[in-house]
Amino acid sequence: MTKFVQPQKKGDLRGGLNVFERSGEIPFDVKRIYYLFDTAPDVSRGFHAHKSLQQLAICLAGNCEIVIDNGQIREVHSLTQHSGGLLIGDMVWREMNNFSKDCVLLVLASEEYDESDYIRSYDEFKERLEIEKK
């Protein structure tokens, strides 16, 4: 499952305030928060899937692209500081690229870091999808 979610937009004359809450836009308990920054525009990251991890990717500054692949459909999502968040479910291949120099990509995760949850080979990812279909 992958979809864009929009924050609750609040604010007044003092400025804007965007809110993502567990009861609304985030369908999981957040157990890990990290962010990417200072990524060179010609560098790509990711190239993995997670067996059972959900994430919400939010571009806080600049912009980047996230390629999402569910084994059948490959989509490119452009994230900017005003685009909301990209909700990425488990068993979804992801690649991140075309980072602007000022890009800060915040990621909220449903679980703490666990190397055994990563699938780092696209061929293994496709094999696991086939097994799950059966």
How is the chain split into domains, by residue range? 2-133
What is the amino acid identity at position 42? D
- Just list the catalytic residues: 48
Taking alpha carbons only, the member of 54, 62, 65 closest to residue 107 is 54
Question: What Cα–Cα distance (Å) separates residue 4 from each residue in 60, 99, 120?
Answer: 15, 19, 24
pLDDT above 90 as % of the chain: 72
For the chain, residues with pLDDT lower than 70 are 1, 134
Q: How far apart are CA 104 and CA 54, in angstroms?
A: 19
Q: How far apart are CA 21 and CA 31, in angstroms?
A: 14
How much is the pLDDT for 1?
66
Q: Which fold has domain 2-133?
A: Jelly Rolls (2.60.120)
